[in-house]
Amino acid sequence: MTVLVLSGAIGAGKSSLTGMIAKELGTKAFYESVDDNPVLPLFYADPSKYAFLLQIYFLNTRFHSIKAALQDDNNVLDRSIYEDALFFQMNADMGRANQTEVAIYKDLLGNMMEELKGMPKKNPDLLVHIDVSYDTMIKRITKRGRSYEQIQTDPSLVDYYHRLLDYYDPWYKNYQYSPKIRIDGDRYDFVENPKDREIVMGQIKDKLHEMGKI
């Protein structure tokens, strides 16, 4: 029995790969709520006003998901609480959050991480990180068609998306909660190409075999 968490930028294919892993390994998939998120459109319309509220909303939903996943011990999550600080740190660095909001957020996140230490399973078994370039990211964002995510609608998102990709490399290098594996989302189109999907699933299963998890 294993708990896997996925990470990667917007449009990396986390939800798609989560479903594939769940089907292949016979695990339960946990998906982050996006389409019914009442704060996300507000954030894209006015980032400085809603960055803190959005992050608290996501932190709460991710905390619920990781608690449930660590209790059942046979799950895969398309995004987890371990990735949460990356987004808020970036928004804070961009001036979209004040120091009081940063302090409150860090204190709340710290309390939640301490709570997870008391769970039957304290950490996930494997982090699956999907690397994508800016071009691949934009291609997938365009294809799924959420209007508030489109650079044609809001050109300022070009800088936002580039910044986000820049933040992921150091985040992945510093991630220490579990073993980890990187998937090349530019080289392998696991969403559209069955052969690429098979290769990526093979990489994940090989890592789990190496760890003695399957």
- Number of structural domains in the chain: 1
State CA 157 to chain mean position distance: 18
Predicted TM-score of the model (pTM): 0.91
Question: Which residue range(s) make up the domain with 61?
Answer: 4-211
> Can 78 be counted among the known catalytic residues?
yes
Name the more confident of 184 and 148.
184
> Average pLDDT, whole number, for the chain?
92
* Segment 140-154 mean pLDDT: 89
What is the model's pLDDT at position 18?
A: 96
Q: With pLDDT > 90 as the criterion, what percentage of the chain qualifies?
A: 73
Is the model's pLDDT at 25 over the cut of 80? yes
Of 7-11, 105-109, 144-148, the poorest mean pLDDT is in 144-148
What is the model's pLDDT at position 1?
A: 64
Distance from C-alpha of 107 to C-alpha of 4, rounded to nearest angstrom: 26
Is the model's pLDDT at 202 over the cut of 80? yes
Q: What end-to-end distance do the CA atoms of the chain give, in Å?
A: 8
Annotated catalytic residue: which of 46, 73, 78, 107?
78
Strand order in the sheet with 180-184: 28-30, 75-77, 3-7, 126-131, 180-184
Which structure tokens are listed for 102? 């940063």
Which of the four pLDDT bands, split at 50, 70 and 90, describes residue 150?
A: very high
Give the CATH number for residue 168: 3.40.50.300
Which of the four pLDDT bands, split at 50, 70 and 90, describes residue 60?
A: very high
Is the model's pLDDT at 68 over the cut of 90? no
Is the model's pLDDT at 72 over the cut of 80? no
179: left (phi over 0), alpha (psi -120 to 50) or beta: beta
User: 112-142, pLDDT tens digit by residue?
Assistant: 999 998 888 888 999 999 999 999 999 999 9
Distance from C-alpha of 176 to C-alpha of 140, rounded to nearest angstrom: 29
* Segment 159-186 mean pLDDT: 95
Nearest to 204 by CA among 188, 193, 192: 188
Feature table: binding site: 8-16, 32, 44, 55, 79, 84, 140-144, 149
* Segment 91-100 mean pLDDT: 92
Name the more confident of 1 and 94.
94
SS3 113: helix
What is the model's pLDDT at position 121?
A: 84
Q: DSSP secondary-structure letter at 185?
A: T
